[in-house]
Chains A and B, each alone.
Chain A
Amino acid sequence: MTDQTHYDIAIIGGGIMGCSTALRLASGGMSAIVLDQGDLGQGASGVNAGTLSLQIKRVKLMPYALKGHHLWEEMGDAVGFAKTGGYTLAFNAREAEMLHERQTMKAKAGAPIEFVSNNRLRAAEPNLTQKVQAASFCPEDGYANSSLTGQYYRGRLQDAGIPYREGCKVTAIDQGAAFTLHTAQGKITATRILLAAGAWLKPLAALLDVDLPVNARVNTVSVTERMPPLMSSVIGHATGLLTMKQKANGTVLVGGGWQGLGTPQDGRGTVNTATVKPNLALAQYAVPALAKARVTRSWTGFEANVPDFYPLAGALPNVPNAFVLGCVRGGYTIGPYIGQLMGDSILGREPEMPLFDPGRDFEKDTI
């Protein structure tokens, strides 16, 4: 690595979006640098529930998620990938109806989802509650270990010869013939920039006088101590408010998007016991034997979105040579793939699937 200070592109944000795009850009011949205010992969990309489930993806993002699943499978052991298949459960008539409606649409969008009988469900998952009213199954579902995101991408960037800087917050951006980034570690210049700052996109874009309507959700995940085998596939709930899996080491991870407290500006966010309790209750309702498992940790992460809950992926409005990638629902699953599309677009190639114009009208335009 040389002591170069000018790059073809500077990527601000070392989460899954920034890192996967950097890899694509470097393979296309651009000199790139990745800057993160903290460590690589310690934002949403490193603390998420790691569920790779087509059953909880948005219908219109299904083609992207399917591609994402294949990339995760290729990454394999290095990211703790496991294709276990996944069951989504309904516990009453209302949920059964919701399950039917939602999973049918997702199946039509290309996900190999089927509805399964109680007998089949019990044979596969004997520790599930007897109170299941309806269930769907997707053989493609599984999980990866999000804790490994930082370790994995650090290695990939090093192998690709892409420099990265940690503890390097971008605090100001000057525009001119090139961009000059003011960082905690001095100035860096680049011909192009990619904003990939996750839940911090709004303050980052504001440095360029662009107002991105980004909000942050504060998702919660909990984990238990190691347990004897209780479930072998990813377990979800018709509403999406429970995702659960038992890792190879026996720990059980419980998520589902219950909301904690705090804002991205104030630090890492905090768990709200008032929402963790129903999250854990739902887990226990699904697998009663979990009652005895000791919870060792609950934590939160910030998931960014815009009002229409579709990605920002493309050119930043009104700032030539600036791009933005973020706010992808199910972004851990889709990140490695949409990063490739973003990279291709910046390299001037036609991406395999369409991107999502960050300049759209979020109230009116349809995706």
Chain B
Amino acid sequence: MSDHFDIAIVGAGPAGGNAALTAAQSGLRVVLLDEQPAAGGQVWRGKSPSILSAPMTPETKAGNDLRHAIDQSQINHMSGTRVWDIRRDGDKWSLQILCDAQSLQITATSVILATGAREYVQPVTGWTTPGVIGLAGATALFKQSLSLPGDKTVVSGTGPLVFFVASEIRRLGGTVAAIVTPNTRADWARALPSMLQHPKLLARGGVWMADLMLAGVPILWGHAVSKVCGDDHVTSVQTQALESDKQGPIFEADSLCLGHGLIPQIEAAQMLGVPIHHDPALGGWVPDVSPDGVTPVKNLYLCGDGCGIRGALAAGLQGTLTGARVARDLGKTAPAPSIRAWQRAAGFGKAMTGLSIVKPKLEALTSDDTILCRCESLKRSDIRAEITTGAKSTNAVKSGRRAGMGPCGGKYCQTVIAALIAKETGKPIGAIPPSTPRPPLRPVPLGQAAGDFHYDDLPIPKPAPL
């Protein structure tokens, strides 16, 4: 196998998967890289073999269709493969990848980043207690292994995902203690016009709601979790009404799914020099990119939730647009699909993302005692002290307090820290960019990054002058 490809695609979710299919149809050599064991990304995540007989959901079906199409194609799909660095090397890109605990390098003429999103959790006291998991993270549990977060679960967060997660927990035989969502019915009414464009998705939402109501699961609109109680495990969850600040009910539970929307994973794009801007309606900082994936960086393309949270449907359509665009840019004949369908889907996705824009009252539930940086156990008071003594950027806070220097690389604290800097300095959030991302994109064992070597062959340069 030659290790040069026309196109290397990072991420085999709806976006990357469809980009790969479209590009491969035009006869290009495509490699599709994803650290997951199967294609499908977050939303169409494959099941682990032990549960293959479990009932089919629309996500499994869409994922199976994608996986089947990839299997039938000429695409070189490398699953279980982690991309840890990408850089320009003359007229091509070189990618460092980890596959079966082996470090390899491949090269490609063009790169498509389809790295998707990660979850945002607005920290509250106790959110790091064992038994608390992400709301989106919970969907991975269901899809991959059909396991439940606990026996009795509070499900809390924004957007449609709370209802999906609650109904999945019930379907899998768990008990939902309550649904707690910062969104109000009025928030949903505002999103309705864009939802009407997608009757199928709307209907699915209707089914979840009907199930939850029939089961008598309490739904607290306009509420949030204000505190998670329990020493070494969740024992109960306190709630609060956001508008009135009134304390809400306390629910006994052994688990909590908590999430407040998604954030685009932009680190790879940033590292390769794509400019970014802040757009709350798209989940925060997003790279500059056209609907068909073109960026200001030559031969670098982006698609899917990694360039703005627009949802799975839009991600797939943008993947197709981008795959066709790259093929044409590489001199192949490929269809030039209309962007209308993507725009429609994106409108819906943005309306859903809008439901997760953090409300000031929700932000106010993060107190000085709340841990903001899990890796370094830093409380909001620690970060605030750093800001009030003069650190005015995310990089400065990172340097002074190590917030963002732990294994997560800042993925889980940078958003809330930037918001705090903005608040303390009176600047708009769009003036506080995330800290400089650094390779590796994922932590890599040193021995694997170094690769096999013979000491005598190490290219040791001339030592410094005496």
Q: Which residues of A contact B (CB under 8 A)?
A: 39-42, 46, 56, 58-59, 91-92, 98, 102, 105, 131, 147-151, 154-155, 158, 166-167, 223-225, 238-241, 257, 259, 261, 268, 270-273, 276-278, 280-285, 290-299, 309, 329
Contacts and interface: CB of A to CB of B under 8 A. Distances in A.
A39 B445 contact: no
A75 to B, nearest CB: 15
B110 to A, nearest CB: 19
B90 interface: no
A227 B117 CA distance: 30
Interface string B390-433: 11110110111010011101000000000000000000000000
B450 A273 contact: no
Given A149-B399, A225-B443, A273-B94, 17 more contacts: A147-B402, A147-B405, A148-B399, A154-B391, A223-B405, A225-B407, A270-B87, A271-B438, A278-B450, A282-B458, A284-B446, A290-B446, A295-B443, A296-B407, A296-B440, A296-B443, A309-B464
A271 B399 contact: no
B355 to A, nearest CB: 34
Nearest to B85: A273
Give 7 nearest A-B pairs by CB, closest first. Answer: A291-B447, A151-B400, A294-B443, A280-B450, A281-B450, A154-B390, A147-B399
Interface residues of B, number: 45
A125 B443 CA distance: 26
B53 interface: no
A296 B406 contact: yes
A282 B460 CA distance: 10
Interface in B347-394: 386, 389-393
A212 B440 CA distance: 36
21 contacts: A39-B393, A39-B396, A42-B399, A58-B465, A58-B466, A92-B455, A150-B396, A150-B400, A225-B407, A271-B85, A276-B449, A278-B450, A281-B453, A281-B458, A291-B445, A292-B447, A294-B444, A296-B409, A296-B440, A297-B439, A298-B439
A288 to B, nearest CB: 9
Contacts of A292: 445-447
B392 A294 contact: no
Contact of B449 (A158, A166, A277): A277
Contacts of B57: none
Contacts of A241: 460-461, 463
B459 interface: yes
B451 A295 contact: no
B271 interface: yes
A57 B16 CA distance: 50
Contacts of A329: 464
A257 B464 contact: yes
Contacts of A294: 407, 443-446
Given A284-B446, A294-B443, A102 B395 contact: no
Nearest to A225: B407
B389 A284 contact: no
A281 B451 contact: yes
Contacts of A91: 455
A295 B271 contact: no
B458 A268 contact: no
A222 to B, nearest CB: 8
Contacts of B444: 294-295
Contacts of A281: 450-451, 453, 458
Contacts of B455: 91-92, 131, 285
A144 to B, nearest CB: 13
B295 interface: no
B400 A290 contact: no
A83 B313 CA distance: 58
A280 B399 contact: no
B399 A41 contact: yes
B350 to A, nearest CB: 31
B236 interface: no
A297 B405 contact: yes
A270 B273 CA distance: 10
A277 B85 CA distance: 12
B93 to A, nearest CB: 12
Nearest to B273: A267
- Looking at A42, A155, A224, A297, the one whose CB has the most chain B CB atoms below 10 A away is A297
Contacts of B395: 39, 42
Contacts of B438: 271, 297-299
Contacts of A273: 85, 87, 94, 96, 105, 439
A295 B85 contact: no
A282 B449 CA distance: 12
Contact of B446 (A39, A151, A272, A295): A295
A284 B447 contact: yes
Contacts of A284: 446-447, 450
A289 B168 CA distance: 45
Contacts of B50: none
A58 B399 CA distance: 29
- Looking at B409, B450, B455, the one whose CB has the most chain A CB atoms below 10 A away is B450
Nearest to B105: A273
Contacts of B409: 296-297
